[in-house]
Structure 1
Amino acid sequence: MNLDRPQAPDPYSLLPQTASFELTSPEFADGEALPAKHSFGEDNISPALSWSGAPEGTKSFVLSCYDPDAPTPSGFWHWFVVGIDGTAGGVEEGAGHIGGGSMPGQVLQLPNDFGSHDFGGAAPPPGDRPHRYIFAVHALDTAELGIEPGTSPAKASFMMLAHVIGRATLTGTYEIEG
């Protein structure tokens, strides 16, 4: 891998400013390594996530996981969930597995860049520098975005932009020795 390539910016720093709130996981702290069970080559289990302090008027949440360091021009979407109930305070470990776990609300898991409608774990190329996996929770002022099941995460991000009233992020890292 070309380890000399510049690191991609945090994509959320490029979006319009909005209120912030807190996003945590009992399994890793911001900037720390993800446990192997959250990688594509291991158990591929989505982490437990908790959030608090969302802005008043939140009617739903969108949850995503994105790798800006993937060696592609567009990064790599690992998870994208719309329709999480606006009163929710998190998701349990494994909630992103099809048929496993539970999600608060009538959610829709959009296709990730692996091509499946679930959580796709960390999967950097062997020998590449540690990749960042940015988990983001967006608080929306609407419960319905009109998103169809096959909508791409990029299009869904565009569709929700005018409804975002708050954002929380938590970044884990992962690497595979080469």
Structure 2
Amino acid sequence: MTRNILFVALMASTMAFPALAGEFTLTSPDIAEGQHLNNYFVFQGFGCEGGNMAPTLEWSGAPKGTESFAVTVYDPDAPTGSGWWHWFAFNIPADITSLPAGDAINGVQLTNDYGTEGFGGACPPPGKVHRYQFTVHALSTTLDIDNSVSNALAGFMVNANSLASSTITAVYNR
């Protein structure tokens, strides 16, 4: 009986380790889940007056087989019918595990929905609180696309090749 209990305990602990090992996690000293964005991360223009800087992003626990990363910032609450892409960067090398504040990256950046390449800060219409989903994706490959593609096509390619992702959802309203 004791040997059976020991065996079950050993099997249970062995099966738990894969779930604990390699948990892919996104963190930031600048933003937090459910917290209001600082003015540094607000767009400069469209009636907003902010620093238009991307926050520092750090990630760990990328799954085995990760060849590159993609970082996106998306507002699903924008009154467009399709949300608002604030940032879409991909082909970030697998040995990179953080991006400093700003939007300089070693990778490809797409044109955001403001019409500029790189990061574009929060700037919702006055009133309703908007969610800003900062997501990092661990990809099984580098993407064979360039900065001329749409955010939708890049999103398709990222989702088709994603091994794992982690998101911090911050909020902002004015």
TM-score range, shorter chain: 0.7 to 0.9
Which TM-score applies when normalising by structure 2?
A: 0.81
Structure 1: runs of 5 or more not aligned: 1-18, 97-101
Secondary structure in 2 aligned to 1:87? coil
Question: What is the Cα deviation at residue 20 of structure 1?
Answer: 5.6
User: Out of 160, 163, 166, which is 2:161 matched to?
Assistant: 163
Matched, 1:149 2:147: yes
Instruction: Specify which structure has the higher proportion of helix.
Output: 2
Secondary structure in 1 aligned to 2:86? strand
CA contact (8 A) 1:20 1:168 kept: no
Q: Which residue of 2 aligns with 1:47?
A: 55
Secondary structure in 1 aligned to 2:141? coil
Q: Which residue of 2 aligns with 1:83?
A: 91
Q: Which runs of structure 1 show a deviation greater than 2 angstroms over 4 or more consecutive aligned residues?
A: none
State the distance in 2 between where 1:68 and 1:49 align: 20
Question: What is the Cα deviation at residue 162 of structure 1?
Answer: 2.2
User: What is the percentage of aligned positions where both structures have the same residue?
Assistant: 47
Check 1:20–1:75 CA distance in 2 against 1; reply closer, same or farther (3 A cut).
farther
Matched, 1:134 2:142: no
Question: What is the Cα deviation at residue 148 of structure 1?
Answer: 2.0
CA contact (8 A) 1:20 1:167 kept: no
Which TM-score applies when normalising by structure 1?
A: 0.80
Q: Which residue of 2 aligns with 1:23?
A: 26
Q: Which residue of 2 aligns with 1:118?
A: 118
Provide the aligned length of Structure 1 versus Structure 2: 148
State the distance in 1 between where 2:166 and 2:23 align: 6
Q: Which residue of 2 aligns with 1:34?
A: 37
Task: Give RMSD over aligned pairs.
Answer: 1.3
Residues 60-79 of structure 1: per-residue CA shift (max 9 Å, x gap) = 00001000000110000000
Matched, 1:93 2:97: no
Highest CA radius of gyration, 1 or 2?
2
Structure 2: runs of 5 or more not aligned: 1-21, 44-48
State the distance in 1 between where 2:34 and 2:23 align: 18
State the distance in 2 between where 1:174 and 1:83 align: 28
Letter aligned with residue 132 of structure 1: R
Letter aligned with residue 78 of structure 2: A
Check 1:110–1:20 CA distance in 2 against 1; reply closer, same or farther (3 A cut).
farther
